[in-house]
């Protein structure tokens, strides 16, 4: 009991060094859950804490090959925990030990870290009564090994094996919240259905037009998760009375695709917003029917922040060099992806922790600058670098690692990429007037839903 109270008092103190920042998020409770999920390691010099510590550091440190980065990561762990038992010395042994860790155990660790993030940034996550969360997906290339080509082949056109990552990002701070992995042909909507359980209370899910689907929206409404999703011409909207789309700005309509009508599923009552953004129209659909609870201005801001999902993938792929994963077996691919995503989450969390909590507008950390400071800290601890950076603490250097907050008022693409089609914005949705038969069917389905 005394030890728990001692840790609680220390957890209230702002961390200063890099190891203190890691311990601030990787608390003893997180490590306890990790040990319980991984189980006992017998016949190996690798213990769960050393194994996961090296896995995270591998993503942050530099090096042209895995053995080179492993040497740096292991040296950093040994220098940081000199009184603990030394782990194994070869990257092959570390990979064999990591392969014994169940993939579900890494997800347990991610859930524990997510709970810690919610505890640390509790009030900073809420903006205008909501916790805005964006969802998007991206593909990761994999090596052309025989096993990966068999298990992760993406389509029938002999594309290289790929892994699909669907990520949920907390938009006000730009924090990676949760994720799910699948084959290159995986469905983003199905991934999101599994990720709904990871969303906090007051969550407002923000997504693009690719996430419009009756099953997904019905599941979100059933679990009382608010959403704000862009509409396209593929989303049929119905109104009991005739409505002029040219003069429409905002109103309550019914989303009711023909598939749901044939199966006598009830229509979904949603609020539709028509906004102007940089000279183009944006049609948004939300489950928040009260305009006072979610104003047009707030909805516009939240959807503009959705671009931070793309910033996350840029950080993961370009800043950390994960355009292509390096593992050659399906077992190690999952562990490499899970470990590197957890490393990105902790990297962004350290940057967000250093930002002023009561800024006039939500600030975001610069992932590149935070990564440079982490690498400098690794060099200092391992004795590879000693210089003027030591005049400031790690926390003081992180306070200056901020993203440029100026508004972009023009397209950032300078040249057309060869072989890539230009982006075409979604066309406006169709607003159809219900006939007598549809009105009767709507009344019938709504009565059945209320009776059930």
Same domain, 293 and 171: yes
On whether the pTM is more than 0.85, the answer is: yes
Distance CA 172, CA 228 (A): 15
Q: pLDDT tens digits for 89-147?
A: 999 999 999 999 999 999 999 999 999 999 999 889 999 999 999 999 999 999 999 99
Q: pLDDT tens digits for 155-174?
A: 566 788 999 999 999 999 99
360 assigned to some structural domain: no
Same domain, 188 and 259: yes
Residue 73 contacts residue 54 (beta carbons within 8 Å): yes
Region 27-38: mean pLDDT is: 90
Binning pLDDT at 50, 70 and 90, where does residue 403 land?
confident
The widest CA-to-CA distance across the chain, in whole angstroms, is 79
Same domain, 252 and 155: yes
Of the segments 145-149, 405-409, 413-417, which one has the largest average pLDDT value? 145-149
Same domain, 269 and 133: yes
53 assigned to some structural domain: yes
111 assigned to some structural domain: no
Same domain, 299 and 443: yes
Same domain, 196 and 168: yes
The total number of structural domains in the chain stands at: 2
Of the listed ranges 179-183, 403-407, 430-434, the one predicted with least confidence: 403-407
Same domain, 89 and 195: no
**pLDDT mean across residues, the chain:** 87
Same domain, 220 and 297: yes
Same domain, 144 and 262: yes
Distance CA 267, CA 280 (A): 29
Same domain, 138 and 214: yes
Region 332-349: mean pLDDT is: 96
Same domain, 38 and 150: no
Of the listed ranges 9-18, 207-216, 234-243, 322-331, the one predicted with least confidence: 9-18
CATH code where residue 191 lies: 3.90.350.10
Domain range enclosing 45:
11-104+327-354+366-398
What angle (nearest 5°) sits at the alpha carbon of residue 368, between those of residues 367 and 370?
65
Distance CA 312, CA 209 (A): 19
Q: Which of residues 1 and 427 earns the better pLDDT score?
A: 427
Same domain, 168 and 257: yes
């Amino acid at each position: 009991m005394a030890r728990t109270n001692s840790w609680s008092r220390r957890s209230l103190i702002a961390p200063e060094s890099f190891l203190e920042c890691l311990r601030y998020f990787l608390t003893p409770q997180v490590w306890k859950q990790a040990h319980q999920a991984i189980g006992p390691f017998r016949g190996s010099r690798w213990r769960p804490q050393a194994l996961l510590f090296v896995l995270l550091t591998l993503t942050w440190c530099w090096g042209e090959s895995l053995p080179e980065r492993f040497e740096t990561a292991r040296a950093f762990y040994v220098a940081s925990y000199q009184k603990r038992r030394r782990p194994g010395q070869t990257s092959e042994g570390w990979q064999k030990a990591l392969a014994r860790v169940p993939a579900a155990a890494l997800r347990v660790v991610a859930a524990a870290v997510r709970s810690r993030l919610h505890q640390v940034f509790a009030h900073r996550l809420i903006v205008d009564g909501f916790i805005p969360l964006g969802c998007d997906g991206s593909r990761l290339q994999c090596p052309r090994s025989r096993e990966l080509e068999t298990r992760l082949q993406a389509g029938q056109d002999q594309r290289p094996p790929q892994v699909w990552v669907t990520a949920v990002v907390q938009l006000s701070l730009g924090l990676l919240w949760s994720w799910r992995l699948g084959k290159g042909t995986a469905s983003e909507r199905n991934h999101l259905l599994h990720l709904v359980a990871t969303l906090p209370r007051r969550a407002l899910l923000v997504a693009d037009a690719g996430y419009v689907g009756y099953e997904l929206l019905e599941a979100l409404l059933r679990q009382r998760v608010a959403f704000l999703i862009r509409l396209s011409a593929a989303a049929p909207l119905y109104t009991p009375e005739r409505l002029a789309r040219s003069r429409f700005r905002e109103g309550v309509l019914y989303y009711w695709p023909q598939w749901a009508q044939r199966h006598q599923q009830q229509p979904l009552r949603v609020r539709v917003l028509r906004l102007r953004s940089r000279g183009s129209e944006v049609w948004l659909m939300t489950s928040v029917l009260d305009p006072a609870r979610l104003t047009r201005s707030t909805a516009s801001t939240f959807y503009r922040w959705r671009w931070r999902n793309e910033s996350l993938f840029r950080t993961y792929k370009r800043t950390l060099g994960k355009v292509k994963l390096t593992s050659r077996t399906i077992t190690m691919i999952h562990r490499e992806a899970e470990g590197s995503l957890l490393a990105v989450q902790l990297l962004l969390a350290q940057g967000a922790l250093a930002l002023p909590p009561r800024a006039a507008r939500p600030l975001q950390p610069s992932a590149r600058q935070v990564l440079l400071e982490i690498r400098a800290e690794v060099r200092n601890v391992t004795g590879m670098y000693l210089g003027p950076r030591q005049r400031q603490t790690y926390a003081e250097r992180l306070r200056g690692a901020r993203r440029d907050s100026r508004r972009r008022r023009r397209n950032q693409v300078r040249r057309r990429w060869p072989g890539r089609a230009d982006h075409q914005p979604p066309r406006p949705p169709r607003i159809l007037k219900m006939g007598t038969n549809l009105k009767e069917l709507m009344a019938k389905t709504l009565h059945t839903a209320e009776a059930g």
